[in-house]
Structure 1
Amino acid sequence: MGFLLRLLVTALALYLLARVYSGVTFAPGAGVVSILIAALVMGIVNALIRPVLLLLSLPITILTLGLFTLVVNAVVLLIVAAVTALDVAGFGAAFIGALLLTIISWVLDAIVGALGLDGGRD
């Protein structure tokens, strides 16, 4: 149940991001399935590629007191856009989009937790 809930929250966050910020959109004609595929790819990239990127960028992340993590998140969003129906206008749009996506996901996670839909997940 946790995987499906996380997938739906990520899909909703990506959809809301595309509605709120014009730098990140879905391709014309992209439907619910395309959004769910983008959310699934986002989860896979976050699980497999993002830790490697964070490890490789650890020295610069320490030098910037963790701010370089925002750049890694932008790269992750660009990777997802490269293989799905998600369209990103460029690196600057990916940077702002990743920041907004983090905020939207955080709010949605808080709502899911407040409603008790997460099954007591900490």
Structure 2
Amino acid sequence: MKLLLKLILTSVAVLVLAKLLPGVVVTDYLTAFFVAVTLALLNTFVRPILIFFTLPATIVTLGFFLLVINALIVMLAGSLVSGFAVSGFFTAFVFSFMLWIFRSILFSLIKEEETK
């Protein structure tokens, strides 16, 4: 249930960012949900591989290269999901950074269950 709520909140963030950023296009609400699912899958499976192969660059830049990896994942999602387009690397970079901020704010509103 919490996963579905996080996907819905991410799709809302994608829609808001598509309205704010001029280089991001999302055609409809269902596309935004597919973008959220695609980003979740890419972050689960592709991002760790990219981090592993770019570990020296990440260490030298004190972790700032992870922002570049996030932008690449957004660009990859743009090529995988029809109806979602990002105009270039800088737009993907800004989109991924703002998505991180929006998701942090929205996910902080969700109460975490205590584990015993």
**Alignment TM-score > 0.5, same fold:** yes
Residue 113 of structure 2 corresponds to residue 120 of structure 1: yes
Residue 93 of structure 1: how far off its partner (Å): 0.8
Q: Which position in structure 1 is the counterpart of 2:68?
A: 71
Unaligned runs of 5+ in 2: none
Residue 15 of structure 1: how far off its partner (Å): 1.0
Q: Which position in structure 2 is the counterpart of 1:99?
A: 97
Counterpart of 1:70, as a letter, is: L
**Partner secondary structure for residue 120 of structure 1:** coil
How many residue pairs end up in the alignment?
114
Q: Which position in structure 1 is the counterpart of 2:22?
A: 22
Counterpart of 1:106, as a letter, is: S
**Partner secondary structure for residue 87 of structure 1:** strand
Structure 2 Cα separation of the partners of residues 58 and 91 of structure 1: 21
Counterpart of 1:57, as a letter, is: T
Q: Which position in structure 2 is the counterpart of 1:87?
A: 85
CA contact (8 A) 1:13 1:104 kept: yes
Structure 2 Cα separation of the partners of residues 108 and 58 of structure 1: 30
RMSD: 1.6
Q: Which position in structure 2 is the counterpart of 1:108?
A: 106
Structure 1 Cα separation of the partners of residues 30 and 25 of structure 2: 15
Residue 17 of structure 1: how far off its partner (Å): 1.1
Unaligned runs of 5+ in 1: none
- Length-normalised TM-score, structure 2: 0.90
% same residue: 31
4+ aligned runs moved over 4 Å, structure 1: none
**Partner secondary structure for residue 62 of structure 2:** coil
